[in-house]
Amino acid sequence: MATVIDGKAVAQTIRSEIAEEVRLLSQKYGKVPGLAVVIVGNRKDSQSYVGMKRKACAELGIKSFDVDLPEQVSQADLIKQVHELNANPDVHGILVQLPLPKHINEEKVLTEISLEKDVDGFHPLNIGKLAMKGRDPLFLPCTPKACIELLQRSGVTIKGKKAVVVGRSNIVGLPASLLLLKADATVTIVHSHTSQPESIIREADIVIAAAGQPMMIKGSWIKPGAAVIDVGTNAVDDPTRKSGYRLVGDVHFEEASKTAGWITPVPGGVGPMTVTMLLKNTLEGAKRYIEQNN
């Protein structure tokens, strides 16, 4: 039976480490990290994510700058807000909650965020430096960074291992592959055009599942002893629940946990780690800025 990686517990440990660093920073320089969380409109899911992020900031002593804009805000006004946050020396990280309303060009808005405050790590220059040998991005994208942290803190060796990443999104699959490659794994990227993904996944010592396909990865696809990190968070109908649904990952947890060496559950695996990595990026950005300017 696999060791179930408790993402909540790992996240809690890292949050304590962050809180301690925030305390030291405040003691030494009289300053704390600042994270601006920008939300446009009233989407319920976005409101809930943003609420979580702001609450987590408060818990760790990170100052949260709340920017709530109406659904109808113009792209120009949103960009003006981003520029003001870029110029504000107390803001060390800027997060614009996605998706934005249709009349706004997301790519354009994200590119306006100062590189030094791109705590999401989505700027193409950051991705380029992540891809290249001998270069380092200012920030690593939060979810891929969470996957690597979970592996490392569980004692899973990455160097020299076969890693398979299922999915190639800009937010998870692609940067996760690049991070694993930088950590000297032999990396294969599997996606919707891959034929017989199961035969490739069966060879993997490390599986990162980020396809957004509920329970697509069966227990029989997992190599005995493999480490399985499940990024999928899919809502499936469940009439036995009051809500009418439950959350499942991209991996069939019940089956796979019989074969894998390590596995993350959904929920309670990667999820709680992602916001934690955002806070860690904010801390790192703040340290870089404060130490250079004091």
97 is catalytic: yes
Q: Which is nearer to its own copies, 15 or 182 (CB)?
A: 182
Give the Å distances, CA to CA, from 14 to 3, 10, 50, 155, 221.
20, 6, 20, 16, 32
Minimum CB–partner distance for residue 137 and its own copies (Å): 9
CA 213 to chain centre: 18
Minimum CB–partner distance for residue 68 and its own copies (Å): 28
Minimum CB–partner distance for residue 49 and its own copies (Å): 22
- Check 31, 63, 81, 97 and give the catalytic one: 97
Q: Which is nearer to its own copies, 22 or 200 (CB)?
A: 200
CA 13 to chain centre: 17
Alpha-carbon gap, residue 76 to 95, rounded angstroms:
17
Give me the residues that bind its own copies (CB under 8 A), please: 107, 123-135, 159-160, 168-170, 174, 178, 181, 184-191, 193-195, 200
CA atoms within 13 A on the CB side of 8: 5
Minimum CB–partner distance for residue 184 and its own copies (Å): 4
66 is catalytic: no
In this structure, are residues 170 and 127 in contact, taking their beta carbons and an 8 Å threshold? Answer: yes
Alpha-carbon gap, residue 199 to 202, rounded angstroms:
5
- Check 63, 118, 120, 250 and give the catalytic one: 120
Q: Which is nearer to its own copies, 130 or 275 (CB)?
A: 130
Tokens read off for 22: 């925030």
In this structure, are residues 143 and 231 in contact, taking their beta carbons and an 8 Å threshold? Answer: yes
Rounded to a whole number of angstroms, the CA Rg of the chain reads: 19
Minimum CB–partner distance for residue 132 and its own copies (Å): 5
Q: Which is nearer to its own copies, 99 or 160 (CB)?
A: 160
184 is catalytic: no
- Check 31, 53, 63, 117 and give the catalytic one: 53
Q: Which residues are known to be catalytic?
A: 53, 97, 120
